[in-house]
Structure 1
């Protein structure tokens, strides 16, 4: 499988930068696994044995650090959307693809939702992954004949896939992943005939 071209891709890493990146991500993974709400960039730097400037320059903020931690999983999900087998990938009707996307993203949140929620908050709406997923959903809605409403309905379908909404349903409402997947399928079915 060839990698997707990345807009504004960074040049190849120097060996010391790659080593530091690995140390920081391993340290962040350990700290987030212990107590995600209490992780600071300073704590990650100390755990990794690097200066905090190294962490800030490389990742910018907590959201950037979290995105780097989950990037491999997210890249695979994006590859599956673009090149994967139907119904998640191309070749299935728009409604089936929307349902498959919802199910796949809910599984992604089951693994990474708590981590995303502690780091991102409202910045998720401004992130590149959100833009990709929202564009995917809006294009499928246009294919399904939603016309001028497709953009608004894309936000409606993305709302339950925000990590805080997902965690509320799992933790407070005590809904299983299977229940949430069925509910998302029902939501899509109500929007698209």
Structure 2
């Protein structure tokens, strides 16, 4: 007997793999069509043609759906940082890369603000993404390639990472701001550039 995705009893593992790919794709399609509030476990199961138990095993909770989407996009973002084109990726001067990283990170967080808020499970703060430590490591590496004299680069890296803190940026991009998300992103990005240029001034 075949299941919703054409799976027979002899291809359980193959079905599991297809479901793992099918569910996030379906969730993104639903988000493109409607608000995050309307994406529920039941709605996703119905749209994907799968049982609710399958969705539950894949994500655990409704918040888990959004966390999985955030994790996937975070990995893609980090890939751009590690091997994408300059100035975000390798090949540009360290100061240019530092500015580009902050601008890209701000854009990422504001662009994912609805998914990030929906990823809350009630026991954790607003997620900044699972790679916050990599942000600090990356910033520290770039600072080490800039002549900053006797500056404490470890502390400076922590402080600059805090300026890209997810909860702060997501709060600033909330509905209490009168600007559009694009305007907020541009102001914050320019602020990051001004900050970094002043910190790294010879």
Shared fold (TM-score, shorter chain, > 0.5):
yes
Name the SS of the counterpart of 2:88 in structure 1.
coil
- Equivalent residue number for residue 140 of structure 2: 138
What's the offset of the Cα at 1:90? 2.4
Decide whether the 8 Å contact of 1:32 with 1:115 is kept in 2: no
Name the SS of the counterpart of 1:183 in structure 2.
helix
Work out whether 1:52 is the aligned partner of 2:52.
yes
> Structure 1: where are the runs of 5+ without partners?
1-12
RMSD between aligned alpha carbons? 3.2
> Structure 2: where are the runs of 5+ without partners?
1-11
Ranges of 4+ aligned residues in structure 1 off by more than 6 Å: none
What's the offset of the Cα at 1:166? 5.2
* C-alpha separation in 1, matches of 2:154 and 2:111: 34
* C-alpha separation in 1, matches of 2:14 and 2:173: 38
Decide whether the 8 Å contact of 2:105 with 2:164 is kept in 1: no
Q: 1:190 aligns with which of 170, 174, 198?
A: 198
Decide whether the 8 Å contact of 1:31 with 1:39 is kept in 2: yes
- Equivalent residue number for residue 27 of structure 1: 26
Decide whether the 8 Å contact of 1:109 with 1:166 is kept in 2: no
Decide whether the 8 Å contact of 1:98 with 1:140 is kept in 2: yes
Which residues of 2 match residues 1-193 of structure 1 at below 5 A? 14-33=13-32, 34-69=34-69, 73-120=73-120, 122=125, 124-125=127-128, 127-144=129-146, 145=148, 146-159=152-165, 164-165=170-171, 167-168=173-174, 172-174=177-179, 176=183, 177-193=185-201
Decide whether the 8 Å contact of 2:26 with 2:44 is kept in 1: yes
> Given the superposition, is the C-alpha separation of residues 122 and 191 from structure 1 closer, same or farther in structure 2, using an over 3 Å criterion?
farther
When the two structures are aligned, how many residues end up with a matched partner? Answer: 179
> Given the superposition, is the C-alpha separation of residues 87 and 101 from structure 1 closer, same or farther in structure 2, using an over 3 Å criterion?
same
TM-score after normalising by structure 2: 0.69
Report which of the two structures shows the higher radius of gyration computed on alpha carbons: 2
> Given the superposition, is the C-alpha separation of residues 124 and 137 from structure 1 closer, same or farther in structure 2, using an over 3 Å criterion?
farther
